[in-house]
Amino acid sequence: MISEGARLRDLSHESALAAIKESYGRVVYSHKTREKAVERLHARVDLVKWGNLVLLVLTFGGVLNAVFAGGPIRNSLTVAVSALALGLAIYRISFNPEQEILEHRKIANKLWRLREEFINLIGDIKDGALPDEEIRRRRDDLTAQLDQVYADAPPTTPKDYARARSLGVRRGNDLLQRRDRSVTADSSTR
């Protein structure tokens, strides 16, 4: 017969484990969303760089043409292309998408580290290696670290979240269940 204290401790562990798994799921989702934001920004930066290069080449060709052949239509086209090249250059200087990529990457790395700490905590809880007070202390510490990471994070877009969801990253519990099954399969083959 299970004592009342043991039953309450098991309930306490179960509720703590459920809350920690839920937090873990949100961290997995946020991490993948940050990775998708980096991919989106990389594509934009590449497009702007190549677009700027094409516009600069066209501008240079237009300037050469204006010097040697001229003509009002060609000169007007050269001015228009040159204005577009200037606009792209101002965009890159003003918004600095490369810095935004670095910020998202830094946040993704912090989330990855916290994700691993959540997994370790879940494992310790399942193994019964931690008393209730230690579980609560570590959970609260991870929550505080997570709050700080989110406070420092640049915004993401609905498109980033949709791309993360399209990969099936909705819940960390699914990831935990797959991980548990693979660990069980590994141990049964030994």
What pLDDT digit, counting tens, does each position of 10-42 carry? 557 788 888 899 999 999 999 999 999 999 999
Tens digits of residue pLDDT in 113-130: 999 999 999 999 988 888
167 membership: H or E segment, kind and range: none
Residues 58 and 24: their CA atoms lie apart, in Å, by 51
Whole-angstrom Cα Rg for the chain = 27
Residue 179 has pLDDT above 70, yes or no: no
In the chain, domain spans: 20-177
pLDDT at 114: 95
- 75, pLDDT greater than 60: yes
The rounded distance, in Å, linking the Cα atoms of 55 and 85 is 5
Report the candidate in 78, 57, 54, 56 with the shortest Cα–Cα distance to residue 67: 78
**How open is the CA angle 147-150-155, to the nearest 5 degrees?**
160
For residues 150-164, give the mean pLDDT: 91
User: What's the DSSP call for residue 168?
Assistant: T
How many CA atoms does the CB half-sphere of 94 hold within 13 Å? 6
What whole-number distance in Å separates Cα of residue 101 and Cα of residue 181?
A: 35
- pTM score of the predicted model: 0.70
Pairwise pLDDT comparison (176 vs 78), residue with the higher score: 78
